[in-house]
Structure 1
């Protein structure tokens, strides 16, 4: 009798452990990335890397998820999240409209800048100066948000037909290089890699026109259709742990200099 009780208890323990492992895993998730500066880019040998990829890979490793990655434009990614064909994406800013169909888990604090072409007059030193010169146009990436101050400024420029909306980062830079626009919007993880490009060296000036506290916070964006509240909470806890144990900082430093990497943690 005692032997049977011991055996039953052991089997029950094994069953409980297996159940815990099953409930702890988060299964398959469809993740979509978009190419942008140090956030997501191709190495010289053709492999994708970047801050966003490293963050998703580490979250998946800690939670036991299997991630099916894809690369697409930001426009199609938002459509996929809204339509239920994508489970999560990256470095997204929360807005009331987006929160209707997805949750945002912050992991990076960024700041927007205006990159002015070197041929633009040095008298252009502010948003008001820019508005006052009808010959200057600016490029942005479609669906991107840039914080309250810049978004309001861009709406005034749109009303004057002075904003070009590109489908992705590379297309926006092409507009800049060929002179279709004389300025582009870029966060620091966007312009940082340009410093290292010989073809871009000396071709632009970085202007910081937003108020000091006008930062934008990016995060993993999780589809409400396929990522339930419990899993979203576990993702949030994992990101918090990655910040506290220094993993996020180390990820940022793989792709940026230490000073900039430290600033991105202020979320």
Structure 2
């Protein structure tokens, strides 16, 4: 072996340990051996598309930060809410930035909560002669609903939804925006939306007489969803740590503040009411 070869080998022996962290990715705890299939659904302000068709919202910013911290590559796709859970169960989706845990869904997915939310009614002002703001439309047997297929609205709503369905007054649609549109054009009296979505829809239909009705529903948790079928526990752990670190260092709050009014940010990240 020549002197030059010995010098080159010594240099490599010194440089390789320095290079390993970069080769391993941003986070040495990452166990993502391949790009992960990330599914978005139209759920403003969590996810929506701007005038150019580009994805925007809390989920987009959250996904970018989680990818940076875990070192995982996330490949975005789009799924309707009804299709999303079937795709998880069929091992066709690895991760979603928004989901509500149920016993059935926890069979095939892990849920990492990151914000609290409450559902409210979105209604037309002229529905049934504009009842007083204090009136609860849930007590009106003539109230018709537009609902999104695949949504789990929570225990505060399911018994009432069943009653409205038994009267034949429920329209089922593929996307939440379609449900809001049916209300705006008078095809349904009300739909159920997350309180954080109200500013978005109120702005979208500023020329329509829509109103928000808070019926005091209990809070739920919105979670990052990770497949149990396609991802191993090391990946679940890496994402859980990244999300916990984001909460601790204020990154999560800053993302929410970018997309929500200040009063809503305080409620969804702190009190959960």
Instruction: Give the corresponding residue for 1:178.
Output: 185
1:207 aligns with 2:222: no
Instruction: Give the corresponding residue for 1:260.
Output: 264
1:245 aligns with 2:249: yes
**In 2: Cα distance, 1:14 partner to 1:233 partner:** 25
Change in Cα spacing, 1:19 to 1:54, as seen in structure 2 (3 Å) is: closer
User: In the alignment, is the contact (CA less than 8 A) between 1:35 and 1:169 conserved in 2?
Assistant: yes
* Count, aligned residues: 259
Q: Secondary structure at the match of 1:70?
A: strand
Q: Normalization by structure 2: what TM-score?
A: 0.85
Q: How does 1:198-237 map to 2 (within 5 A)?
A: 199-201=205-207, 203-211=209-217, 214-237=218-241
Q: Normalization by structure 1: what TM-score?
A: 0.87
Instruction: Give the corresponding residue for 1:82.
Output: 89
| Residue 29 (structure 2) aligned to one of 5, 24, 28 | 24
User: In the alignment, is the contact (CA less than 8 A) between 1:146 and 1:216 conserved in 2?
Assistant: no
Instruction: Give the corresponding residue for 2:3.
Output: none
**In 1: Cα distance, 2:96 partner to 2:42 partner:** 12
Deviations 1:102-124 (A, max 9, x none): 11111111110011210123157
Deviations 1:81-120 (A, max 9, x none): 1101111112201100000011111111111001121012
**In 2: Cα distance, 1:149 partner to 1:126 partner:** 17
Deviation (angstroms), 1:126: 5.1
Q: How does 1:51-66 map to 2 (within 5 A)?
A: 51-66=58-73
User: In the alignment, is the contact (CA less than 8 A) between 2:122 and 2:210 conserved in 1?
Assistant: yes
User: In the alignment, is the contact (CA less than 8 A) between 2:149 and 2:172 conserved in 1?
Assistant: yes
**In 2: Cα distance, 1:126 partner to 1:112 partner:** 17
Deviation (angstroms), 1:46: 2.6
Q: How does 1:74-153 map to 2 (within 5 A)?
A: 74-120=81-127, 121-123=130-132, 125=134, 127=136, 129-134=137-142, 136-153=143-160
Q: Secondary structure at the match of 1:265?
A: helix
Change in Cα spacing, 1:133 to 1:60, as seen in structure 2 (3 Å) is: same
Deviation (angstroms), 1:44: 2.8
Q: Secondary structure at the match of 1:105?
A: strand
Q: Secondary structure at the match of 2:188?
A: coil
**In 2: Cα distance, 1:147 partner to 1:75 partner:** 16
